């Protein structure tokens, strides 16, 4: 970004207008771009943003950086990373979603302890696992860090707090893209009594216009029965149904990865990870890949 400006947020609705200018190089050509967006301020650290200058849908979830500089010390202890990805080829797209639990050593390295991937209906456990993976922080761009996966990938983390970052991966090609979030895993006791409760459940932004989404209420029972019940509202292309009840479903901790806070909902086809005492995130095992968030 080469420059920009914004208006003072409206005192009633928190809305502000922002204009940014940037230049970028593609091959031998250097292009310039100026765009305008409307911003809605949530609080001192969070905003929603939507593009108003282009004839296409474009929105964002904005976070305020809490520090002026970042280093390996900002990546220490357990975290959960989750994202959705798009692999484009001529005439078609492949979609995917994944989540992983890992930890940072405070010295610029991370290790993944467990992961779940849904690659266009191909469900894989522990595709993303192991380490240490070096994380290099860019002193010229505070908060930006590069992951040394090897191969053709180009993954970045853009930090805004400790163990908190936007995850972005171009996967070595302009036609491939992954994006999502890293969040600190602050929950340390993984038991039904601490996971159970009433949650709202909803997806990250849909990747396809034909993709259906489900939003509703879910109850994870705190007792030994580990029951999973609730009601979902389903929406999609030409389809909309209120409050569809589901029952007879159960969840269970993933015993192959004890201590990582991961659990499974087999009948719903979801693999999940606890983030904190009020939030968990799940990826589909089958069907259209997507990330669903459970939030109290």
Evaluate if pTM is beyond 0.85.
no
**Residue 243, exposed/middle/buried by CB under 10 A (0-12, 13-18, 19+)?**
exposed
Shared-domain flag, residues 127 and 155: yes
Residue 178: how many other CB atoms lie within 10 Å: 19
- Domain housing 171: 72-184
Place of tokens 């908190």: 164
Shared-domain flag, residues 90 and 40: no
Shared-domain flag, residues 241 and 224: yes
The CATH code of the domain that includes 253 is 2.40.128
Count of structural domains within the chain: 3
Shared-domain flag, residues 214 and 130: no
Out of 46, 63, 80, a domain closes at 63
In tens digits, the chain (296 residues) has pLDDT values of 677 888 888 887 777 888 878 776 666 777 777 777 777 777 777 776 666 665 455 556 778 889 999 999 999 999 999 998 877 665 567 788 899 999 999 999 999 999 999 888 789 999 888 889 999 999 889 999 998 876 556 688 999 999 999 998 876 555 567 889 999 999 999 999 889 988 888 777 666 655 666 677 888 888 877 888 888 777 666 656 766 777 778 899 999 999 999 999 988 889 999 999 999 999 989 877 888 888 88
**From residue 81, how far is each of 49, 157, 181, 259 by CA, in Å?**
22, 10, 6, 16
Shared-domain flag, residues 34 and 77: no
Shared-domain flag, residues 25 and 91: no
Out of 137, 166, 184, a domain closes at 184
């Amino acid at each position: 970004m080469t420059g920009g400006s914004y208006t003072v947020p409206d005192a009633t609705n928190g809305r502000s207008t922002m204009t940014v200018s940037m230049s970028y190089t593609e091959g031998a050509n250097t292009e310039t771009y100026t765009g305008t967006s409307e911003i809605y301020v949530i609080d001192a650290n969070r905003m929603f943003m939507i593009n108003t200058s282009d004839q296409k849908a474009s929105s964002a979830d904005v976070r305020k950086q809490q520090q002026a500089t970042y280093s390996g010390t900002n990546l220490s202890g357990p975290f959960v990373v989750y994202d959705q990805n798009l692999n484009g080829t001529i005439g078609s797209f492949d979609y995917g979603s994944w989540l992983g639990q890992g930890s940072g050593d405070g010295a610029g390295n991370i290790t993944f302890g467990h992961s779940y991937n849904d690659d266009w209906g191909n469900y894989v456990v522990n595709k993303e696992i192991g380490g240490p993976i070096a994380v290099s922080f860019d002193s010229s761009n505070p908060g930006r860090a590069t992951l040394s996966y090897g191969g053709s990938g180009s993954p970045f983390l853009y930090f805004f707090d400790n163990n908190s970052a936007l995850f972005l991966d171009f996967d070595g090609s302009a036609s491939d893209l992954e994006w999502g979030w890293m969040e600190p895993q602050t929950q340390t006791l993984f038991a039904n009594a601490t996971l159970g409760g009433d949650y709202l459940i909803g997806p990250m932004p849909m990747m396809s216009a034909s993709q259906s989404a489900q939003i509703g209420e879910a109850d994870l029972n705190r007792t030994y029965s580990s029951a999973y019940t609730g009601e979902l509202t389903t929406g999609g292309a030409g389809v909309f149904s209120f409050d569809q009840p589901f029952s007879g479903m159960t969840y269970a901790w993933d015993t192959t990865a004890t201590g990582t806070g991961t659990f499974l909902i087999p009948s719903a086809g979801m693999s999940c990870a606890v983030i904190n005492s009020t939030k968990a995130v799940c990826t589909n095992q089958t069907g259209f890949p997507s990330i669903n968030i459970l939030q109290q």
